[in-house]
Amino acid sequence: MKSKPCTPFLRATITGLTPGRARPLALALSCVLLTACASVGPDYREPPPVDVGSGWSLPLASESQSTDLSQWWSALDDPILDRLMATALAQNLDLRQAAARIDEARALRDRVAGEALPTAAAGASVNRRRQSENGPLPVGSIPGLDATQTIYDAGFDAAWEADLFGARRRALEGASARLQATEADAQGVRMRIVAEVARTWFTAVGARYELHAQQATLDTLQQTLELVRLRHALGDASAADVEAAYAQWTAVNALIPDIQVRQRAAVLGLGVLLGAPPERELALLDGPLTPSTLWALPVGERAEMLRRRPDVLAAERRLAASSADIGVATAELFPKLSIGIGGGFQALSTGDWFDASSSRFSILPLISWRLFDGGRVRAEIRAREAAERQAALAYEQAVLTALGDAERALGDYHGGLDTLERRGMALDAARTSYGHAKARYAAGDIALVELLAAQRSLHEAETAAARAHTNAAVQLVALYKALGGGWDVSTTASTATHPQRGAAATVAFSSR
C-alpha cells in the first residue's frame, strides 16, 4: 500500500495557516488523501494462462475461419426452428428467472456503492410531556418552569464513514465482479435453452423422419403381402408363405405407435420450453417436417472458444470477486474514521421554533480501532485467501472442462457425420438389392425367404439411416453448445454471418 506525497502547493497552503487552524485542516486533508489512495488487499490480476494444447485433435476442427455462433440455428435455414427460437428467447421462464437474478445482483452492487456515501436524515417532532415535581429535577421549585411542556423540534442528522483503507472500494469491486458473473451465468442459461430447443426440435423431426421410413417399409411389406397372397391363390405359394409375410408386416406395424409417442412427447416438451402450456405446439404433428442438411462445422481456434464459454467467463469473474473479498477482510485490521453531524431547531413555543437562538448543532468525529478480537479478523483473511485459491482452481477446471466438452462434441459430431454418410450408402444398396429381389420373386426366380431377407435388410437400413440423421443433428447441437454458441460475445473477433459452406463437407440424407 502506497500513499501519494503532498504537493508543494498543499504544503504551502498548510504552512501558511496559523497552528490552531493548520492542525485540523492537515488532519482532514490527510484523511482525504488516505481515502483517495489507500486500498489494502491484493489488486486483482488475470489468472495465469492455462495450457490449452497446440490445437484441436481432429481434422474436422482444422478450419481457422471464424464463425458467428450467436444465432447458429439460422444457418440451418429452418423457418420453424427460427420461430421456436425467437419465442423461447422471449418467453422461456428459465431465461426470465436469469434476468431477475441479474437485476438482483445489480441492486446488490448498487447497495454496496451507496454504502460509501454519507447518510442523512431529516425529521420534525412535537413532544408534549409532563415531568414529575418530586423527581430528581425540582421542577416545582424552579420559578418560570412548568412541569408540563411542549417541545418543538426539527433538524437533520448525517453520518459518514471514511473509506480510509479501501474496504468499500474492494467491496464494490467484488459486487461488480459478481454482477458480471451473474450476467455470464444468464448467458449460459440462454445457451442451454437454445440447445434444448434445438435438440427437442431435432428429436421431433427425427421421430417424424423415422415414422416416414417405417411407413415406407410398411407399404413395401403390404405390397409383398398382396403379391404372396396372389401367388397363393394361383397355387405358386403356400399358406405358410402368406403367414410369414403377414407376420413381418405386423412386426413393423407394431413399431409405429412408439415412434408417434416419442414425437408427441418432443412436441409437448417444446411447448414448455417456449414458456407456454405443453400442448401449444401440437399442430406441428400435422405439418410437414423436413430434416435439416448437416454440414461440417468450422469451429475456429481453441482460445476463441474459451472466450465464448459463459462458464469460463463466470469462473474468472468469481475469481476477481474472491480477490476483492481479501481486501474487505484485511481492512478490518486498520482504524476506522466516522463523522456524525446533527443540527436543527428546538423550542418550547412555535413562535420561537426557527429563531437563531433556538438552533442546535453537533459534530462527532470518531476513530475506532479493533485492538483485540481473538484472531477472528486474521482467520477471516485466511479464509478469504483460501476461497481465492479455490476460485483460481475452479477457473482452471472450467477451462479444462470446456476443452474436454468441445473435443468430445467434435469427436461425436465427426463420428455422427461419418455414420450418417455410411448409413446413406447402406440404404442405397439395400434399396437396389430389394428392387432386384422383388423383380426376381415376381418372375419366380427366387423363393419367398430370399425376398423377405431383402425386405428386412431394407427395413433395417431405413430405420438406421433415420436414427443416424437424428443422432447427428443432436450431436451438432451439443457441438454448438460446447463451443459457446447461442449468445453474442462482443470481445470475440469479427465473425462471418454464416458458416463457410463452400469449405465444409456436406452430408445430406433425403427421404424417398
H helix or E strand, kind and range, residue 287: none
Distance in angstroms (rounded) separating the CA atoms of residues 86 and 82: 6
Q: What pLDDT does 10 receive?
A: 35
Q: What pLDDT does 489 receive?
A: 58
Q: What pLDDT does 493 receive?
A: 34
Distance in angstroms (rounded) separating the CA atoms of residues 416 and 422: 10
The DSSP secondary-structure symbol of 500 reads -
Distance in angstroms (rounded) separating the CA atoms of residues 68 and 498: 6
Number of alpha carbons in the 13 Å side-chain half-sphere of residue 174: 21
Distance in angstroms (rounded) separating the CA atoms of residues 283 and 124: 67
Helices (H), 274-375: 302-308, 310-330
Going by C-beta distance under 8 Å and a sequence separation of 6 or more, which residues neighbour residue 89? 95, 190, 193, 194
Q: Look up residue 10 and give its three cell numbers.
A: 498543499
Long-range contacts, 395-401 (Cβ 8 Å, 24+):
395/47, 395/312, 395/315, 395/316, 395/318, 395/319, 396/47, 396/50, 397/315, 398/309, 398/311, 398/312, 398/314, 398/315, 399/50, 399/52, 399/306, 399/312, 399/315, 400/50, 401/311
Helix (H, G, I), strand (E, B) or coil at 374: coil
Longest dimension (CA), the chain: 140
How many Cβ atoms are within 10 Å of 122's Cβ, its own excluded? 10
Distance in angstroms (rounded) separating the CA atoms of residues 238 and 220: 20
CA proximity to 84, closest of 295, 311, 283: 283
Please give the backbone phi and psi of residue 155, each rounded to the nearest 5 degrees, phi first: 180, -165
**Strand locations in 131-210, DSSP E?**
148-162
Distance in angstroms (rounded) separating the CA atoms of residues 254 and 206: 18
H helix or E strand, kind and range, residue 367: strand 359-368
Distance in angstroms (rounded) separating the CA atoms of residues 79 and 292: 11
Helix (H, G, I), strand (E, B) or coil at 346: strand
Whole-model pTM: value is: 0.78
Q: Look up residue 387 and give its three cell numbers.
A: 476461497
For residue 4, with 0-12 CB atoms within 10 Å meaning exposed, 13-18 middle and 19 or more buried, which class applies? exposed
Q: Is residue 462 a contact partner of residue 213, using CB atoms and an 8 Å limit?
A: yes
Q: What pLDDT does 144 receive?
A: 65
H helix or E strand, kind and range, residue 376: helix 376-442
Strand 119-130 with 294-295, pairing: unpaired
Q: What pLDDT does 397 receive?
A: 94
Distance in angstroms (rounded) separating the CA atoms of residues 372 and 333: 10
Residue 340 is which amino acid? G
Residue 27 is which amino acid? L
Helix (H, G, I), strand (E, B) or coil at 473: helix
Beta-bridged to residue 154, according to DSSP, are 124, 345
The DSSP secondary-structure symbol of 324 reads H
| Positions in the chain whose pLDDT score sits under 50 | 1-22, 25-26, 29, 32-36, 61-62, 64, 491-512
Distance in angstroms (rounded) separating the CA atoms of residues 380 and 41: 13
Strand 359-368 with 336-347, pairing: antiparallel
